[in-house]
């Protein structure tokens, strides 16, 4: 792929991503919640006034927060680490979280620190996985997924060492939601203690930094994987022109027409995982349109008028919808 074109795409993504309202392309037009698949898995949440919707990216950066309590490393690269925010209320849940940001190295886990802090005050211990992304050596597809798998393993090892009986939930936002879903698919079972690491192609597993022997020593069950505004149709997403869409081919290393097998492997499939998929989406998300919340076999929760960054803001309708879903899984 022409390097000049890649650079222009990345610059466009960096400029547009921080906008509070981005138009979807024609191929990715956002539809209302009522236009979604009305099956038994889909839940319509009612917006409890006066909760917020359409939160801007910049608002996340001014939220109250605190430094993480500890750091876990899972590789030699400085980016291969997990930041842990311990719950400050009685602990019931551990949430392993994969941050988003168009898969780009311009966006790290720090933009969601207010989110981690708010959840910790609700009795949820957060394991925020950092990983190499587009622009980092070893990042992109499939290296970013390798890192995420290893980071999840390290997080669950820590939960196991604490000898706690917490409910464990895996979640990710936007591009991080895409990777979280793929990680659940790759793990292929409700715990890393399972002998099989899943149904993804042998190349994707063997090239990664995950150690199957260490994984077998971890007997912690993941109850569910939550995709918050997650990208679920990566090939269609790559055809769009908005912020993250323009960064997709750089992450994947090519267009869908020239890297077809890679795009197939990078498309989440809930039927290949014993970990239940639950997709949460705002009906007015202009960065990842709401049709990405329609995935065969996955439950979905659609927040009316919800925006892309709402999930990370503790005063939003979407944040409280997330708490309700975590509650369903044992919180």
CA distances from 102 to 14, 30, 164, 178, 269 (A): 9, 18, 34, 10, 20
CA distances from 161 to 37, 98, 156, 174, 220 (A): 42, 21, 9, 30, 10
Apex 312 CA angle, 310 and 314, nearest 5: 85
Give 321: exposed, middle or buried? Use CB within 10 Å, 0-12, 13-18, 19+.
buried
Question: pLDDT (tens digit, 9 = 90+) per residue, 5-63?
Answer: 444 444 444 444 444 333 333 333 333 333 334 344 555 555 444 689 999 999 999 99
Backbone torsions φ then ψ of 244, nearest 5 degrees: -70, -35
pLDDT at 161 over 80: yes
Q: In whole angstroms, what is the distance from residue 303 CA to residue 147 CA?
A: 31
Residue 95 has pLDDT above 70, yes or no: yes
**Mean predicted confidence (pLDDT) in 116-126:** 96
Are 21 and 282 in contact by the 8 Å Cβ rule? The answer is no
- pLDDT, mean of residues 57-71: 96
pTM of the model: 0.81
Query: Residue 324: its pLDDT value, please?
Result: 94
DSSP 25-60: PGGG----GGGS---TTEEEPP--TT-B-S--HHHH
Average of per-residue pLDDT values in the chain = 82
Report pLDDT digits (tens) over 197-231.
Answer: 333 343 443 333 333 334 434 568 899 999 999 99
Mind listing the pLDDT tens digit for each residue in 297-322?
A: 999 999 999 999 999 999 999 999 99
The predicted-structure confidence for 164-197, as pLDDT tens digits, reads as follows 777 899 999 999 999 999 999 998 643 433 333 3
Burial of residue 296 (number of CB atoms within 10 Å: 0-12, 13-18, 19+): exposed
Buried b (16+ CB within 10 A) or exposed e, 27-50: ebebeebeebeeeebbbebebeee
């Amino acid at each position: 792929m022409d390097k000049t074109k890649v650079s222009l795409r990345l610059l466009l993504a960096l400029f547009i991503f921080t906008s509070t309202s981005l138009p979807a392309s024609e191929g990715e037009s956002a539809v209302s919640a009522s236009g979604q698949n009305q099956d038994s898995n889909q839940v319509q949440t009612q917006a409890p006034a006066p909760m917020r919707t359409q939160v801007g990216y910049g608002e996340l950066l001014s939220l109250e927060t605190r430094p993480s309590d500890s750091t876990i490393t899972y590789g030699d690269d400085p980016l291969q680490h997990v930041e842990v925010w311990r719950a400050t209320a009685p602990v019931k849940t551990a949430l392993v979280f994969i941050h988003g940001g168009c898969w780009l190295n311009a966006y790290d886990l720090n933009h969601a620190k207010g989110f981690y802090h708010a959840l910790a005050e609700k009795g949820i211990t957060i394991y925020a996985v950092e990983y190499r992304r587009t622009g980092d050596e070893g990042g992109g597809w499939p290296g970013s997924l390798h890192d995420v798998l290893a980071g999840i393993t390290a997080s669950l090892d820590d939960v196991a060492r604490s000898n706690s009986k917490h409910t464990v939930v895996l979640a990710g936002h936007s591009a991080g939601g895409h990777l979280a879903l793929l990680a659940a698919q790759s793990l292929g079972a409700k715990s890393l203690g399972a002998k099989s690491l899943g149904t993804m192609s042998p190349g994707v597993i063997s090239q990664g930094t995950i150690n199957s022997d260490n994984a077998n020593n971890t007997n912690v069950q993941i109850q569910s994987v939550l995709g918050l505004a997650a990208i679920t149709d990566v090939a269609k997403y790559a055809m769009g022109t908005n912020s993250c869409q323009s960064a997709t081919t750089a992450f994947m290393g090519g267009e869908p027409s020239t890297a077809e097998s890679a795009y197939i492997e990078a498309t989440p499939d809930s039927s290949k995982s014993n970990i239940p998929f639950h997709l949460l989406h705002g009906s007015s998300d202009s960065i990842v349109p709401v049709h990405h919340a329609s995935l065969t076999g996955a439950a979905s929760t659609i927040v009316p008028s919800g925006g892309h960054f709402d999930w990370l803001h503790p005063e939003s309708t979407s944040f409280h919808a997330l708490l309700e879903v975590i509650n369903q899984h044992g919180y």
